[in-house]
Amino acid sequence: MLIEVIELHRQIIEHSGGALGIRDLGALESALAQPHMTFGGEE
């Protein structure tokens, strides 16, 4: 999923302008992992 998000970001920047690159790869990975976290032993 990380690769897809980075590619989507590249396409948006290409279309609308802005700077390429990821400021904090760890934060992006953490945000992408949030839906997979569990609560009370359940996903």
At 34 the pLDDT is 84
At 7 the pLDDT is 96
- Among left, alpha and beta (phi > 0; psi -120 to 50; other), residue 10 is alpha
Total H helices, total E strands in the chain: 2, 0
At 42 the pLDDT is 63
Q: For the chain (length 43 residues), average pLDDT per consecutive 10?
A: 95 94 94 76 62
